[in-house]
Amino acid sequence: MRRALRANGSSGWASPLLGYTLLVSPFLEYVDYRFNAHGEEALWPFVGRQIWHFAPGPTWFLEALLVFSLAHALLRRLSRKAAVHAREPLRAGEIAAVAVALALISFAVRFAFPLGSEQFHLQLSVFPQYAILFALGAAAGRRGWLETFTPRLARRCAAAGALAALALPGLLIAGGFFADGAEHRFEGGWHWQAAALALDEAVLATCVSLWAVQHFRRRNTLGPPARRMAPAAYGAFIIHPPVLVGLALAAQPTPLPAELKFTAVLAAAVAASFGLAALGGRTRHLGAVIGSPRTAPSPANA
């Protein structure tokens, strides 16, 4: 089981998850408390209580991946089945079956957890997508589905995803999403709007994900600047909230138009997040957590 966890990279996810949850998130919550809720409590008492809320912020996906990987390792251990190495091509019917199953499970889950609601700082209404796509990726790795994914099947996935994306605005309009008091019908329950949205999301999540993975496996279109930035992308994503909030607070008193401040803060936040992540990645211990640019694979070896 330990080998399975190492293969899934679970040990490397706990550090940024715990670090952000315990050291960064409480202070960002305090900023929200002071500036949005207009609270007056002192910093340290608030932070002392907020730590126990375990708000993961942007590292919520690490929490999900850790749980999924533990479950995957446990199931593999209990099943005691030998790994499947056969290269079996993925078929359109199997993709359609995954999309339909995902739609049905999402529709059912949203009776208990309506779309948009939050539980334990997570939106459990969309977790069927994450869990099923994680399982699909694990099966794809064992069965060689990505290596045997044909261009024709990729085009069919792209067409299905495009149709689902084009159908979404019409679905929202027809279902009265923009009418007063009608948007709740999309959140869950015995409403055709909730069922249709679950199906549309399932097609998008399944088909677009498969198409995107296949497309970028075959076509690496990154230019030199993007290739240099790519190794720091993971770290930049983790640290961007405090960087963005700090720059926004610094820009707030400046007598500039809101549009100009927005543009300046956005550009500075992107540059600072990638720069700090790249610098942090050069250190031994921090680089092991957020990814070191020095150890990033080149496009030819990726």
- Per-residue pLDDT tens over the stretch 212-236: 988 888 877 777 777 788 888 888 8
Q: What is the band of 55 on the pLDDT scale with cuts at 50, 70, 90?
A: confident
**Percentage of the residues of the chain whose pLDDT score is greater than 70:** 86
Residue 73, pLDDT score: 86
pTM of the model: 0.75
- Per-residue pLDDT tens over the stretch 133-171: 999 888 888 888 888 888 899 999 999 999 999 999 999
Residue 289, pLDDT score: 66
Using alpha carbons, select from 128, 131, 45, 147 the residue that is nearest to residue 90. Answer: 147
Residue 107, pLDDT score: 96
Average pLDDT value over all residues in the chain: 83
Residue 247, pLDDT score: 93
For 103-130, what is the mean pLDDT? 92
Query: Rounded CA gap, 184 and 176, in Å?
Result: 10
Question: Does 2 score more than 60 pLDDT?
Answer: no
Question: Does 7 score more than 90 pLDDT?
Answer: no
Question: Does 59 score more than 80 pLDDT?
Answer: yes
22-26, 35-39, 94-98 — most confident range: 94-98
